[in-house]
Chain A
Amino acid sequence: MGNITKIFKRLNEVYVKQRVLLIYLIVQNTILSLIMLIFANVIISNGNINGELDYSRIRLFYNIAIILLFVIIDLFSPILLSRSLNDLYRKNIIEHLLSVRISIRDIVYAVYFRGLSTLLILLVSAFPIIVISFYFGGFGVIKMLRLLIIILSYAILLSSVCLHISTKFIDENATTIVSYVLGVALTLIILYFLNRLLNSAFLTFLYAAFCVILALALISVAKKTTIFSA
């Protein structure tokens, strides 16, 4: 665990130094705030004196909010992880780390956690605005929690898929394209079943368990890739 933390820290310092995360957070929250303003404006203009609202007219906005969360994952998982391991390989960093007795497992998990943690920061930063919009949109707390679990499980799964892909191709463009295609495909599948998942606690749990187990399996296979032996 010690080495995972050290590599994580090094990778994270580099990423923060690039200021990408900070710029993204500003842009993202500005966009979400604008959506929220439009959303609030719609609520006010459609509400009557007793506070009764026509939910069917504002449903579109929280559909957009849900899709936005998936877009964040689809957009950033490939950026953060699909080039991660092959990038380290190309820069000779993997070879150098292995030669100082750092295990393959430590490298893979450090890279994965670094990507995933950044992704989670992006998601968490979007949550307050999303939660408010859902609250005004008549979305119950239980459903919001289920949505949270679905989103997080998807983030864990797609990150591991991207990490796995990064070990399959040395070429950066190939890994990015494959990751985006897979990300969009997975999002469409989940969105298709989203209502059913949100309406059943059992299905939500089953889906979350499936995502985590598949993610661990993909990371485990990533450790045995040829990048580490060639």
Chain B
Amino acid sequence: MIEIKNLKLNINNIDILNELSFDIPDNAVMCILGNKNSGKSSIFKVLTGTYKNYYGEVLYNGIDINDLSECKIDILHDTREKDPDITVNEYLNFYGSIYGKENNDEMDAYINDMLRKFSLMSYKYTSLDQIDNENYKLVELIRISINDPDILLFDNLFSSDNADFNEKLLEYIKGLIGKKTLVFASRSLNHIEGIVTHLAVLENGNLVACGKKEDVYKKAELSNKIELEVIDKMQDAVEVLKKNPDVTNIVYNDKIISFSIVANITYSNTRNQVEAAILKELVDNDIEVYSFKKQRVRFEQLFGRLKG
């Protein structure tokens, strides 16, 4: 677990972070939400040991993060190394050596496997600055996988509009849920709302809200409502939903049933899985579902309510 206590950071007489205190539990999927210059990336730089001149305590399993001998916390940066003179293979082998992995056949086989997995094999000997931003992020994922850290930090990961790429990233990340602590720094919950379990909301270096996602939503008086339309058997659908312990706040009219989910979202039981189970239950009861719409919580809405 990471414990951040009274974290204060000042660079060039500008307060970047102000007395932040929050925990990141083991195997949590946390999102640090905030606008530009809110301090998200600075928290990551403190966690990775890039910034050392901070005040307060940052502990990983009770040990000061600056005293960690191994790279237990690794980051997928928002920025990229603009080195034209190093190939993807050299780059991965270099970081492999930094992580204490020898450049041998085993390492080469691992790199090849991962490059194949992400369809990057043709880029193995391409200069690092020749690959586009999306493939660069995949190379970074391979780099981090070589390290196999306990905690992975993703700075502005889903910045691309490419749906296929985002899907590929999300699939890989879902495979890490429950095994690693994942922390995202983002301006929105796009793509990750279904997997996030904890939230920390920042504004100008101050913590606006922090805790389990449901608690933060509750604090903001928001709920993730789902609207359901069925072709017929409206009453049957309501009965099925009422019997489901994960469902609450059922409201319905002639056309639409709206409800909220109160399931205990765990690391192996993501919100998307709970929703899928509810949908399956309806279909199994011969209820023809016409539409199943999630009311997305927009960041601005959440932020406005928390500030309001």
Contact = CB atoms under 8 A, between A and B. Distances in A.
B192 interface: no
B291 interface: no
Interface in A96-119: 96, 98-102
Interface in B75-112: 75, 77, 79-83, 85-86, 90, 94-95, 97-99
Interface stretch (B47-55, B175-183, B204-212, B232-240): B47-55
Contacts, number: 60
Interface in B125-172: 147
A28 interface: no
A93 B77 CA distance: 11
B71 interface: yes
B98 A100 contact: yes
B12 interface: yes
B86 A99 contact: no
A224 B147 CA distance: 28
Residue with the greatest number of chain A CB neighbours at <10 A, chosen from B12, B50, B81, B99: B50
**Interface residues on chain B, size class:** 20 to 34
A10 B94 contact: yes
B214 interface: no
Contact of A95 (B53, B71, B77, B90): B77
A18 B86 CA distance: 11
A14 B77 contact: no
Contacts of A52: none
Contacts of A91: 81-83
Contacts of B83: 14, 91, 93
B231 interface: no
A179 B305 CA distance: 56
B49 A98 contact: yes
A6 B94 CA distance: 7
Contacts of A101: 48-49, 68, 70-71
Contacts of B276: none
Contact of A18 (B68, B74, B82, B85): B85
A229 interface: yes
A91 B80 CA distance: 8
Given A99-B49, A99-B75, A3 B98 contact: yes
Contacts of B79: 92, 95-96
Interface of B: 11-12, 45, 48-51, 53, 68, 70-71, 74-75, 77, 79-83, 85-86, 90, 94-95, 97-99, 147
Given A14-B83, A99-B74, A100-B99, 16 more contacts: A3-B98, A6-B97, A18-B85, A91-B83, A92-B77, A92-B79, A92-B81, A95-B79, A96-B79, A98-B50, A99-B49, A100-B147, A101-B70, A102-B98, A226-B12, A229-B51
Which 7 interchain pairs have the tightest Cβ spacing? A14-B85, A99-B48, A98-B50, A91-B82, A92-B79, A101-B71, A6-B97
